[in-house]
Structures are given as C-alpha cells and as structure tokens.
Amino acid sequence: MNRRYFLAAAGAAVMTIMAGCDQPESKFAGYWQDAGTNKAAKFPVLLHIRPNGDSFIVTITIWEGPFGRGYEAKEFPATRGTSSDELKVSNTPLAFTYDAATDLLLVAGDKSRIERISKEDYQAALDSGKAEYERRKARKKEAQKAK
C-alpha cells in the first residue's frame, strides 16, 4: 500500500518538475508579425518559427513589391543565444530577444517589435499578399495589351 502512495507521489513530483522546465519551443515557436516601425504597413514582415530538435527553423516572409513577386519566404536555421531569451538566426546578423512581459520578440540593434499572431492571421496575410500580386499582374497585362 505504501509503495502505491510512493509511486503516485513520485510520479506527481516528476510531472511537476517537467511542467516547470523551459521547453525551447515554448517562447519562440509560432507565427509572428512586425509590430514596430511597419505596424501600418499593408504587407508586414511575417515570421514562422518552428522547433527543429534543439534548434529552430525561422521562415522570414517579406513583401517584394511593387515590382517583385509578392511575398517571398526564406528559411534560416536559428539557435539559442547566450541567454535562454535570445534566438540567433544563422547566416544573418539577425537576433531576437523574447520579452515575456509583453509576449514580443525584440530585434537586437533595432527598434522593431514582432508580435505573436494566430496561424489564421498569418495565412490571411499571405493570402492577401498573393491576391494583391495577382491583381497587379493582371493590371500590368492589361496595360501591355492597351499599348
């Protein structure tokens, strides 16, 4: 009987300890949008950060307009920085610091702030960018026909 109580207590202790552990994906993983200098931008910079073992994959999506191809996405590996609140994007000078009080990513050496958004908002922004690109492409084609 005492053994069952001991096993139950030990199991509860282990679960409590594990719940308190800082999972690498807990702070950084998710969908993000530039909320700083480009808050009013029609096509903000978008980020998708996902865990990849002990590191992360960061997809940075930037609007390549007005003569570009709409939203262009590039993937970069990323690792934790010197502190657990820092994420460094490999092959770039880009580094983010997580601010737990505001749930924002702060861009090192910049005034930009990146806010967490839902997957639906992320997809809506991509869809809006794609629709705008198609409209611009159609207008360009019509203008060429008119010549």
C-alpha to C-alpha distances, 15 to 1, 11, 12, 18, nearest whole angstrom: 22, 6, 5, 5
Residue 73 lies in a domain: yes
Mean pLDDT of the chain: 79
Residue 140 lies in a domain: yes
Residue 18 lies in a domain: no
* Cα–Cα dist 108/141, whole Å: 42
Residue 77 lies in a domain: yes
The confidence score (pLDDT) of residue 67 equals 66
Residue 78 lies in a domain: yes
The type of residue at 72 is: E
The confidence score (pLDDT) of residue 139 equals 87
Confidence of residue 36 (pLDDT cuts 50, 70, 90): low
Residue 4 lies in a domain: no
Residue 129 lies in a domain: yes
- The pLDDT tens digits of the residues spanning 86-115 come to 999 998 888 999 999 999 999 877 778 899
pLDDT exceeds cutoff 90 at 2 = no
* Cα–Cα dist 42/34, whole Å: 11
Q: What is the DSSP string of 10-56?
A: HHHHHHHHHHHS--HHHHH-EEEEE-STTTT-SS--EEEEEEETTEE
* Cα–Cα dist 31/62, whole Å: 14
What is the dihedral angle through the alpha carbons of 89, 121, 72, 50, rounded to the nearest 10 degrees?
A: 30
Please state the rounded mean pLDDT for residues 113-137.
89
Residue 3 lies in a domain: no
Confidence of residue 3 (pLDDT cuts 50, 70, 90): very low
- The pLDDT tens digits of the residues spanning 59-85 come to 999 887 666 677 889 999 999 888 889
More confidently predicted of 12 and 37: 37
- Domain range spanning residue 70? 24-146
The confidence score (pLDDT) of residue 22 equals 46
The confidence score (pLDDT) of residue 70 equals 78
The confidence score (pLDDT) of residue 60 equals 93
Q: How many domains does the chain have?
A: 1
The confidence score (pLDDT) of residue 79 equals 92
The domain that holds 35 is classified in CATH as 2.40.128
Residue 55: HSE in the Cβ half-sphere, 13 Å Cα cutoff: 9
